[in-house]
Amino acid sequence: MAAMPLATAEVCDANLHPIIKGELRALHPIFQIYGRRRVFAGPVATVKVFEDNVLVRELIEEEGHGRVLVVDGGGSMRCAILGGNLAQWAQSRGWAGIVVNGCIRDVDEINGCDIGVRALSSHPMKSGKKGAGEKHVGVAIAGTRICDGEWLYADADGILVSRTELTV
């Protein structure tokens, strides 16, 4: 179910009406690019956590089917909520990408994975393991509300979220 990667700038140029109607949104340009897959797209699965990655691991252990995991980590810069082991799991389980509103660690390991990762920054400390948070809920990150089942498109120009799958 992996979406065909589209150039985000071309998508914006060709979809003025969905942008005006709020059906196509661009995330604020706050994310760093990690992973070998520089361009990725797919249906969204969401998780909301804070300095705890138990639910992130639970979702990544599911078959990805070309989905993109959007992790609202509350923008915390105090620890990483995704590391190299989870990125390798995500790659092996068929996830297209992971967008983290927070930090990652094991950057060299993640950069070796064939998966797209976006995060605010890197941090060497690992997260807590209490299992707090919510899966498959609407999240608000980078100035945009993102819901489970929407479509995410990422490339070097930025990240777009659409209510429906896009074609050019």
pLDDT tens digits, residue range 111-168? 999 999 999 999 999 999 999 999 999 999 999 999 999 999 999 999 999 999 997 6
Give the predicted TM-score (pTM) of the model. Answer: 0.96
Residue 94 CA neighbour count, 13 Å, CB half: 10
Please write the tens of the pLDDT for every residue from 79-104.
999 999 999 999 999 999 999 999 99
Contacts of 20 (CB under 8 A, 6+ apart): none
**Model confidence over 7-59: pLDDT tens digits?**
999 999 999 999 999 999 999 999 999 999 999 999 999 999 999 999 999 99
pLDDT at 3 over 70: no
Under the banding of pLDDT at 50, 70 and 90, the label for residue 6 is: confident
H runs (alpha helix) in 61-157: 84-92, 107-111
Tell me if 153 sits within 8 A of 11, measured CB to CB. Answer: yes
Binding-site sequence positions: 83-86, 105-106
CA dist 140 to 18, 24, 48, 74, Å? Answer: 19, 15, 10, 9
Residues 118 and 111 sit within 8 Å (Cβ to Cβ): no
Contacts of 86 (CB under 8 A, 6+ apart): 53, 56, 57, 60
Taken as a whole, the chain contains a residue count of 168
Largest CA distance in the chain: 44
The confidence score (pLDDT) of residue 88 equals: 98
> 86-89 long-range contacts, Cβ below 8 Å, gap at least 24?
86/53, 86/56, 86/57, 86/60, 87/35, 87/113, 87/115, 87/117, 88/113, 89/57, 89/60, 89/61
Q: What is the CA radius of gyration of the chain?
A: 15
Q: State the binding site for Mg(2+).
A: 106
Annotated binding site for substrate, which residues? 83-86, 105
- pLDDT at res. 1: 44
| Domains in the chain, CATH or no CATH each | 8-158 (3.50.30.40)
In this predicted structure, what is the pLDDT of residue 167?
Answer: 77
Measured CA to CA, the distance from residue 141 to residue 138 in angstroms comes to 10
